[in-house]
Amino acid sequence: MSTTTADETAAAGGSDDADAASADAENERTGREVDRRPTPLSAVVALAAASVVAIAASVGSTAGGALAALGIVALAPGVLSGYPKLVDGAGLALLGGVALGGSGDAPPLWILVATVAAVVAWDAGQNAVSLGNQLGRDADTARAEVAHSAATVAIGTTTAGLAYVVFLFAGGSRPLSGVIFLLVAVGILLQALR
């Protein structure tokens, strides 16, 4: 009777439950228990990106900075203890902070950077929780985490760059169509990350 490892199950396209069951079987065999808390690298990336959001949002409005700070307060226990719903709520608070900051005096480039940082914070937080749950906190996931975060930043930067070009061609004002385009771009970005 052979025991498959979590890597073999993942390579075969197994589900999260199968990954966890395989890891649990491996734990029984080796006598070690897997720490299912979120991975620290992605948790740090998420909190750092959320800090960028708070700074950029506060440039535009105090309310935007306060809402983004509330997002950090929700994100911290989410990525440190493994609560994905807190990470989702924090992502919404961060994006709300960006929206409030954008309604103030923040320069468009700051708002685009804050938007990308909000998506990176949410995505890295979800990645930390997911990897911790599937593979465990002590698994060697650094390369995968760096690659995942780099891809998120690359997609977000490309999307923000396109949004900025549209902004420049719109005559440098803040028309409603620019805001709608930015929201559509964020939606596309989130779908691309799934």
Between CA 132 and CA 128 the distance in angstroms is 6
State how far the alpha carbon of 104 is from the alpha carbons of 60, 84, 115, 121, 130, in Å.
Answer: 4, 31, 15, 22, 36
pLDDT of the residue at 114: 93
CB atoms within 10 A of CB 193: 17
pLDDT tens, residue by residue, 126-169: 999 999 999 988 889 999 999 999 999 998 899 888 878 877 87
pLDDT category at 17 given cuts 50, 70, 90 is low
Between CA 96 and CA 99 the distance in angstroms is 5
pLDDT tens, residue by residue, 164-180: 887 787 765 555 555 66
Q: Does the pLDDT at position 13 exceed 80?
A: no
Residues in the chain: 194
